Structure 1
Amino acid sequence: MMRIISLWFIDFSDVLNLPVDERFPGLLDECESTQCKKFYLKKDSNLYYWSHTLRRMVLSYILGIPNEEIRFGTGKYGKPFIVSGETRTKSPFISFSHAGSAAALAVDWKAPVGVDILDERYDLEYLHDFFDVHLSKLQSQVDIAYSERDMLSFAWVRIEAVSKWCGLGVTSVLSKTSHSSKERFCNLSKPITWMGCNEFLFSPSGYHGCLIFSKMHDKRISVSCHHLSLANKV
């Protein structure tokens, strides 16, 4: 049987700055609503609201249960998980990322997953400093002519996705990674094999993304990609 991992890319750029009274009311739980109000900048509050609201809407659709039955827990390093409700005996593994005016959601019923996206307009100065030691080697290793921005962005989302997959912080992941394996994060011509994981790189318009998943004993695995846009939907 084919194991299917669902990957959702959700674009909410057209509704990001809608007035509060034009939003979907009552979809966030109490903790999420409280967190949404804590942001000092309106753009950060808007990003949190739409990304987490749409996460709930997509999961409600996937699980086939009302939104109010979906409850989340959080791991030590902030990784979200679904707390099984009364109507379900099993919940899927999920991973979630948001950047710019978009979000990515990965769902796997069998094993942990990790997903991360990065807005291509992101200031890469920090990432450049972080990976600078690898760049000279990287230029000779990569078979395809990637731009420096693409290389750095994909390297970063790879590390972040692995971190979310295994439930550790980025620093913890890097501390457990040998020097040669760290270089592999920057080498786009070779797939990541950190602790037996598998990867799926994707590039929706304006973003770089990486999905990390466990192969387990499954011989047939398919990543089912979905693109959801709220343009003209509200």
Structure 2
Amino acid sequence: MKTYGLLFITIVFNFSLSCFGQSKDNARDVTAIENATVRSDNSSKENMVIVGYYVEETINMTFGKRVTKYEVSKLDMVYTNDLGPNNTRVVTPIYRKPKVRRVDLALQSKTFVDSSATKILPVKVEVIAPAEDPKYVTIDVVDTYAKVLGKGYKSIEMLTKVADRAYFDGDLATAAKYYEELFVLKTDLDAMYYYRYAESLKGINQMGKANEAMLLFESKNTSNNVVKHNKLVRN
């Protein structure tokens, strides 16, 4: 509190000196203006500052006089033209009390937190096991059928699948074998099986059986023009 009081007294003292110096300087400046005089009342100007100037210019004429009045904020804004003899320009300073800005100084307090008293809770981490990719097993049905046939178990479907696989893979001996076993189980089959059987026999040079198989094929496929042509050629 003592510090604030001392600071306020210092500001007031400096301010009074500045006001006094300002008044003396303004008086010197006014005398430099043509036809200008300074008018000041006898009231105390302590703790006051000049905020402007009131100017009154009087021009004396033969029939009366003309008076011009105006206010300016700065002294250098007063007209400096020569008004002529017996004419006057009166400059009156305008005083006002200055606005004192009050500054409040406050000490900011800092709050310290004792981290040792803070309880740290454990962090739960969820562990997810990676999903396993599904495992696929590729099974070759025809190979399985072939293994089953090798053990003596036979069916029309298995013989058809295995014989066709061997035929298209170029294994004509195996194809002829399983086509022959197929015809033992069933004779009323599609004509194409007899054709494939005949071609398989030709591939392994069993021409006698091949011709017989071709005749069976032609008998089951009489509507085919190719078959009719082959019959005419043989006849």
Structure number with the bigger relative contact order (C-alpha 8 A, sep ≥ 6) is 1
The two structures have a TM-score, normalised by structure 2, of: 0.17
In proportion to residue count, which structure has more helix? 2
Tell which structure's C-alpha radius of gyration is larger.
2
The two structures have a TM-score, normalised by structure 1, of: 0.17
In proportion to residue count, which structure has more strand? 1
